[in-house]
Amino acid sequence: MKHILAEVITIGDEILYGQITDTNTQWISTELDKLGIRTVRKSSVGDDKERILEILQEAESRADIILITGGLGPTKDDITKNVLAQYFNSTLVIHEQALMEVTAYFKSKGKELTEINRSQAALPDTCTFISNKRGTAPGMWFEKNGKVFVSMPGVPHEMKGMMTDTILSKLQKHFETPVIYHKMIKTVGIGESFLATKIEQWEDNLPPHIKLAYLPTMGQVRLRLTATGTDLATLQADVEAQTTQLQSLVSDYIYGYDNDTLESVTSELLLKHRYTIAVAESCSVGYISYSLGSVAGCSQYFMGSIVAYSNEAKINLLDVNRNTLEKYGAVSEETVKEMAQQVRLKFNTSIGMASSGIAGPSGGSEDKPVGTVWIAYADGKQTVARRLQLGNDRDLNIKLTAVHVLNLLRQSIY
Amino acid sequence: MKHILAEVITIGDEILYGQITDTNTQWISTELDKLGIRTVRKSSVGDDKERILEILQEAESRADIILITGGLGPTKDDITKNVLAQYFNSTLVIHEQALMEVTAYFKSKGKELTEINRSQAALPDTCTFISNKRGTAPGMWFEKNGKVFVSMPGVPHEMKGMMTDTILSKLQKHFETPVIYHKMIKTVGIGESFLATKIEQWEDNLPPHIKLAYLPTMGQVRLRLTATGTDLATLQADVEAQTTQLQSLVSDYIYGYDNDTLESVTSELLLKHRYTIAVAESCSVGYISYSLGSVAGCSQYFMGSIVAYSNEAKINLLDVNRNTLEKYGAVSEETVKEMAQQVRLKFNTSIGMASSGIAGPSGGSEDKPVGTVWIAYADGKQTVARRLQLGNDRDLNIKLTAVHVLNLLRQSIY
């Protein structure tokens, strides 16, 4: 199969000099990859006419699709549009629909159109106008010698909206890209190499039209299956059959698919069972609460939490037995179980969860080195605790503790 | 002044296809910028011989310094070293010091050197070896026609270590870069355009050898002053004099300098005054606690918090008066003040802080639209509340609330 090739170009001094983080190119190449379009080069150049002309020329010689973001603001620094006009031997003329849309945009914000913003509706006369529903700089689609160039604003949500609304489907149609079906299988609680060993044989036997990618993130590994062919229904059936096999190998670790997150999956489980939850945190200093509370609508099940960082707080606010703390220490199975049980009673919820550990960088001992964390689940019938051995990075330990607590919750109430 | 020009090249399919986030290039160009070296192009290419040769050739024609990361692992996919050997007409030979270091590295991990890892000590015979104290792939420094090429591993902490330990100073010496002095002035609680208006006149009067850059991040704007010249002491004095003028214009908003963070500054203030603190959170669902708790050593002042997401929790666990909640609502000056006062009593701390608001995306009203947040500070002598009007993004509202609470804390105990 011949691949359609793309280049992604970012224009702007701020990105080039490292003043702002470029999140656009990763997003764009991920979306192109989903359509079977292969990115062959990503580049950033500054707001400099010669540099921009040079990279346009280069990219045209290498790729079928050239996607450009940035440099479309109304200020003098932003020269992309003028350079594009020059590159495509075009004249800038006011585009009627573009003017209508930018006027409407300002009106919706209760503002009059200024002359400088009116100029945003002037487009090279050889381009196809692409509507921007989220801002004032329109997109531009050029065709030249069978190649497609698309210029988009650099503001991430404007660029993403434009890609999703218009450009991705227009590219699919224009290049008759192959039919592709993706499925993301999301795992938690197992490292990449252990997972790879468990599914090695299955992976080796995948049919040639289905590819597997490992995409690790913090405490999680996402597995992406990509099937390429001509008929969507067939591809979908093929991928589902492989997924079923995969499930039988590592079902304990799979928490969801595609757009699921650990947060959304635990939220759905709590809603389904009509359970309520409260959390007692020590080493995770509020991050478990934040993870539960980051889901819109969490007020239906998340009642709150007590962050008892000091031992006194564990005793006074969580009613943890002073003897337990003295005998076993704050970082122990006994203490974390009491914390989970007590916070459940305090908030009068179905479930209580807890964490206690040594986030670091100091405070470790030989028995309990930095990264030792106990977590617990209590629901009135049973209390389950688990010991984690994390690393030396305080912030990572805090965040990984929250991941493991959500995973314990998921496994306990499935 | 003639600029030394650099190009930054990332090699690896995972970055090109969007599977992992490239944080290296931003870091590298920021560090180069600090030395007065200007990045003119950033590029990513895949693990593909022809593509790598092509970009090396291009970069050589444009820049004085070509910094390359990635593609140095011991597996077959990683071909950078072989391609560099070809590009520089070199032969790979085992480098004695490299072999010693990689052997020592494995030994420190309690492992024997395997044949495949031994191959990591084979380097092109035209390069200068650069030590990697944090991993197994050495760096390589090449010189050709007055240009410098440096190849580094893609693992961020290995690359950063190598740059900081060796490469940056070696570049400075090699290119006799100008003397540069930087100072970062960190502000919070004022938007970029308001800040720009307040300091416009001062900015216009900056001497030509001092440049100002605005670097906005979430809820904060960092101002970076960069002085270029020949004598460090003079530059430092010039920048300090300008900083003093700037301070007199916007002292209320400046919370720190250079490596200070809002978290580190509030931590130092609490330690200095020997104050302890506890937090009552509603809409920020634990994120204020996380912000305070993310600082190593916070156990000296951070006692804990109560996340009272439900009204019942506000009444039962924080002793907020039921009448207050019924009369003024949970999102009100009255409620948030009681929350701050009560949490201080509960944890027996010097200071109590609180948040209550509508993080969204739903739950707003005409009076109190999404993004309405009340925050409060209480120390037993005074209670101060502040109303914020944030946006529509739930996660951003949660995080911005924490920024504003730390700012209120800073201003209250200065």
Q: Return the structure tokens found at B341.
A: 């006062």
Q: Return the structure tokens found at A291.
A: 């993870």
Check residue B152 and give its pLDDT: 97
Per-residue pLDDT of A292-326, as tens digits, reads 999 999 999 999 999 999 999 999 999 999 999 99
Interchain contact, B286 vs A302, CB within 8 Å: no
Q: How many domains does one find in chain A?
A: 3
Q: Return the structure tokens found at A232.
A: 């969507």
Domain of residue A33: give its range: 4-175
Across the interface, which of A16, A38, A304 has its CB nearest the CB of B307?
Answer: A304
Check residue B15 and give its pLDDT: 87
Q: Among residues A175, A190, A223, which one ends one of the domains? A: A175
> Between β-strands A37-45 and A4-11, what pairing exists: parallel, antiparallel or unpaired?
parallel
Q: For residue B29, list chain A residues with Cβ-Cβ distance below 8 A.
A: 16-18
Give strand pairing partners of A350.
Answer: none
Q: Return the structure tokens found at B68.
A: 């390359």
Indicate which of B11, B19, B300 best probes the interface with A, i.e. most A CBs within 10 Å of its own CB.
Answer: B19
Interchain contact, B17 vs A33, CB within 8 Å: yes
Check residue A113 and give its pLDDT: 82
Q: For residue A33, list chain B residues with Cβ-Cβ distance below 8 A.
A: 17-18
Same domain, A220 and A119: no
Q: Which of A58-62, A119-123, B133-137 has the lowest mean pLDDT?
A: B133-137
Same domain, B20 and B125: yes
Question: Which CATH number is B143's domain given?
Answer: 3.40.980.10
pLDDT of A1 strictly over 60: no
Whole-angstrom Cα distance, residue A313 to residue B306? 11
Per-residue pLDDT of chain B (414 residues; tens, 9 = 90+): 578 999 999 999 888 888 788 999 999 999 998 898 999 999 999 999 999 999 999 999 999 999 999 988 777 678 999 999 999 999 999 999 999 999 998 888 788 888 878 888 999 999 999 999 888 899 999 999 999 999 999 989 999 999 999 999 999 999 988 888 999 999 999 988 889 999 999 999 999 999 998 888 888 999 999 999 989 999 999 999 999 999 999 999 999 999 999 999 999 999 999 999 999 999 999 999 999 999 999 999 999 999 999 999 999 999 999 999 999 999 999 999 999 999 999 999 999 999 999 999 999 999 999 999 999 999 999 999 999 999 889 999 999 999 999 999 999 998
B129: CB partners within 8 A, 6+ apart: B95, B97, B98, B123, B138, B139, B140, B141
Q: Return the structure tokens found at A356.
A: 């206690």
Instruction: Pick the residue from chain A with its C-alpha nearest to B344.
Output: A313
Q: For residue A290, list chain B residues with Cβ-Cβ distance below 8 A.
A: 285-287, 290, 398
User: HEC profile for B77-121?
Assistant: CCCHHHHHHHHCCCCEEECHHHHHHHHHHHHHCCCCCCHHHHHHH
For residue B133, the tally of other CB atoms under 10 A from its CB is: 11
Per-residue pLDDT of A349-405, as tens digits, reads 999 999 999 999 999 999 999 999 999 999 999 999 999 999 889 999 999 999 999
Check residue A217 and give its pLDDT: 85
Label residues A385-400 b or e (16+ Cβ within 10 Å = b): bbebebeeebebbbbb
Same domain, B118 and B253: no
Same domain, A245 and A280: no
Same domain, B353 and B272: yes
Question: Which CATH number is B243's domain given?
Answer: 3.30.70.2860
Label residues A208-241 b or e (16+ Cβ within 10 Å = b): eebebebbeeebbbbbbbbbbeeeeeebeebbee
Q: For residue B304, list chain A residues with Cβ-Cβ distance below 8 A.
A: 306-310, 313, 317
Burial of B212 (0-12, 13-18, 19+ CB in 10 A): middle
Interchain contact, A302 vs B285, CB within 8 Å: yes
Same domain, A335 and A192: no
Give me the mean pLDDT over the A215-222 stretch.
88
Q: Among residues B213, B237, B257, which one ends one of the domains? A: B257
Same domain, B205 and B70: no
Interchain contact, B40 vs A46, CB within 8 Å: yes
> Tokens 């540069």 identify what position?
B180
Same domain, A276 and A406: yes
Task: Give DSSP secondary structure letters for B15-46.
Answer: HHTTSS---HHHHHHHHHHHTTEEEEEEEEE-
Whole-angstrom Cα distance, residue A293 to residue B223? 33
- Residue A205 sits at the vertex; the CA angle it makes with A204 and A207, to the nearest 5 degrees, is 115
Same domain, A253 and A160: no
The residue type at A48? D
Check residue A18 and give its pLDDT: 83
Q: How far is A95 from chain B (nearest CA, A)?
A: 30
Alpha helix segments (H runs only) across A305-393: 311-316, 322-328, 333-347
Instruction: Pick the residue from chain B with its C-alpha nearest to A21.
Output: B26
A165: CB partners within 8 A, 6+ apart: A131, A133
Check residue B1 and give its pLDDT: 55
Q: Among residues A175, A208, A228, which one ends one of the domains? A: A175
> Tokens 């700037």 identify what position?
B246
Q: How far is A192 from chain B (nearest CA, A)?
A: 15
Q: How far is B403 from chain A (nearest CA, A)?
A: 15
Q: How far is B41 from chain A (nearest CA, A)?
A: 5
Instruction: Pick the residue from chain A with its C-alpha nearest to B14.
Output: A215
Distances in whole angstroms, Cα of residue B384 to Cα of each of A27, B47, B284, B380: 43, 58, 18, 11
- Determine the length of chain A: 414
Burial of B373 (0-12, 13-18, 19+ CB in 10 A): buried
Whole-angstrom Cα distance, residue A181 to residue A75? 42
Q: For residue B19, list chain A residues with Cβ-Cβ distance below 8 A.
A: 30, 213, 215
Given a contact cutoff of 8 angstroms between Cβ atoms, the answer to whether A284 and A290 are in contact is: no
Same domain, A355 and A396: yes
Same domain, A268 and A126: no
Q: Return the structure tokens found at B114.
A: 């395997």
Whole-angstrom Cα distance, residue A343 to residue A326? 20
Same domain, B199 and B170: no
